[in-house]
Amino acid sequence: MPRLVSHPDEVKIVSRRFGQGATDIDKYIELDGYKAAQTAIEKGPEWIIQVMKASGLRGRGGAGFPTGLKWSFVPKQSERPKYVLVNGDESEPGTCKDHLIFLYDPHAVIEGAMIAGLAIGSKQGFIYLRGEYRYLLKIMEKAVSDAYAKGFLGKNIFGSGIDFDVVTQTGAGAYEVGEESALMESLEGKRGVPRIKPPFPAVVGLYGGPTVINNAETIASVPHILMMGGEAYAKVGSERNGGTRLFGISGHVEKPGVYELPMGYNLKKAIYEVAGGIRGGKNLKAVVPGGSSTTVLTADEIEVGLDFDQMGKAGTMLGSGGIVVLDETVCMVEFALRTIQFYQHESCGWCIPCREGTDWLKKSIGRLHAGGAVDKDIDNIRYLAENMLGRTFCPLGDAAAMPTIGFVKKFRKEFEDHLNGKGCPYGHAQEREAALV
């Protein structure tokens, strides 16, 4: 069972019910559950979207798109049914926040999906969890069936005359399916190969119908926002970055865990105060701030606020909120290699720059780590990665290229230290280069 952590600087909004037995529907109701949905029914779609816009909530999956705006793009009239799709495919390395939402507050996901459905005029929601999360799927399935039993889902929800159904769905192991259009393909029973955009899901999505697709944390935040008010939620965060976020701090810190901090919270403080500093009193070398696809920050670059805009200005991304902390003992070439191994493994192979690019990057960095590279290989790695950027069908290619460029640019000295047959100066086992099959 994942360990829950706590720190006085946390502002618990989306994690408010964690560890309080809210998987039980009666307990959830006692903790103000399903009140927001009833208010939403009363006040109607325009009010919901207006509150969401005022909240400044931006997509918690990593792209940071304003949620209220996204919902407002869905056409009011549609010949095809509209759908709400909750993305719980959480697969970005360093990210385990949705894990806790499904574990401790499954009804918030249902209620959030319901409110999204009310906002866009959809009668059908899907909650998609990655295949590895079977025990969490069972928790979600029970929550859904309890909600049906109470009349909160199905026909005439809360006696309103409105219908809303929810179906849970499992994946079967694929990072790529976390991309919204690939997830729709998967839910339609196909390979998770992304679709070309436009059209965007809000217009042509699941089964060809207008679809709102949101990350599980985004959706679970919705009921809380309706309860506290959009402006109040916005005020908790920083400029243009409303509210709080679940930050998963992992790696070489004393107290790893998922902490809910206000948007804009200082990264250095998050590492040194909230997560207790570097393990064993060692020195910090680098931070991967928002899941493995985001550009690495050096120890000197962490005096920055954790929101979408400030992280962008710092040359990286807030991403999925998975903060991975690396101490001085880490070989950055080995770390870069492990990162690219992952993307090579997960590339769906549909488009060439990603399929070939990730494979050649893995081979080149692997050879370099083993001591078999020559001088120009370092530039070649960077050149190859830079030429993948923006040239792939979906963001997986960028997700592989961006961190690679960052590692070479910011830790070039470490790459050079591996040249001329020297191999890894950190003495790491070479057999690890054996690629994942």
Interface contacts to other proteins, rule CB under 8 A: 2-3, 81, 90-96, 98-99, 130-135, 138, 167, 169-175, 186-192, 207, 248-252, 256-258, 288, 292, 322, 324-326, 330, 335, 338-339, 342, 345-346, 348, 429, 432, 436-437
Closest CB 1 distance from other proteins, rounded Å: 8
Closest CB 124 distance from other proteins, rounded Å: 8
Closest CB 196 distance from other proteins, rounded Å: 19
Closest CB 50 distance from other proteins, rounded Å: 31
Nearer residue to other proteins within complex by CB, 38 or 170? 170
Concatenate the DSSP letters of all residues of 311-343 into one string.
HHHTTS--TTSEEEEEETT--HHHHHHHHHHHH
As a whole number of Å, the end-to-end CA separation of the chain is 29
- Size of the chain in residues: 437
Nearer residue to other proteins within complex by CB, 4 or 149? 4
Q: Tokens in use for 47? A: 């009010």
Closest CB 56 distance from other proteins, rounded Å: 26
| Contact criterion met (CB below 8 Å) for 217 and 285 | no
Closest CB 210 distance from other proteins, rounded Å: 14
Nearer residue to other proteins within complex by CB, 102 or 233? 102
| Contact criterion met (CB below 8 Å) for 406 and 316 | yes
Nearer residue to other proteins within complex by CB, 67 or 91? 91
In angstroms, the CA 163 to CA 197 distance is 30
Q: Tokens in use for 386? A: 């830079």
| Contact criterion met (CB below 8 Å) for 411 and 404 | no
Nearer residue to other proteins within complex by CB, 376 or 437? 437
DSSP label of 23: T
Closest CB 160 distance from other proteins, rounded Å: 23
Closest CB 36 distance from other proteins, rounded Å: 26
Beta pairing, strands 297-298 & 322-327:
unpaired
The residue assigned the tokens 């192991």 is: 173
Nearer residue to other proteins within complex by CB, 222 or 325? 325
Nearer residue to other proteins within complex by CB, 136 or 381? 136
Closest CB 376 distance from other proteins, rounded Å: 28
> Cβ of 154: how many Cβ atoms within 10 Å?
14
Positive or negative, the CA dihedral 191, 131, 60, 263 is negative
In angstroms, the CA 367 to CA 419 distance is 10
| Contact criterion met (CB below 8 Å) for 219 and 109 | yes
Opening angle at CA 35, ends 31 and 38, nearest 5 = 165
Beta bridge partners of 259: 247
Q: Is 256 exposed, middle or buried (0-12, 13-18, 19+ CB in 10 A)?
A: buried
The residue assigned the tokens 């944390």 is: 217
Closest CB 390 distance from other proteins, rounded Å: 24
Q: Tokens in use for 104? A: 């401790």
Nearer residue to other proteins within complex by CB, 286 or 388? 286
Closest CB 251 distance from other proteins, rounded Å: 4
Nearer residue to other proteins within complex by CB, 335 or 415? 335
Instruction: Name the H helices within 203-277.
Output: 216-228, 230-236, 267-269
> Cβ of 436: how many Cβ atoms within 10 Å?
9
In angstroms, the CA 245 to CA 320 distance is 10
Nearer residue to other proteins within complex by CB, 68 or 319? 319
Nearer residue to other proteins within complex by CB, 3 or 413? 3
List CB contacts of 208: < 8 A, sequence separation 6 or more: 80
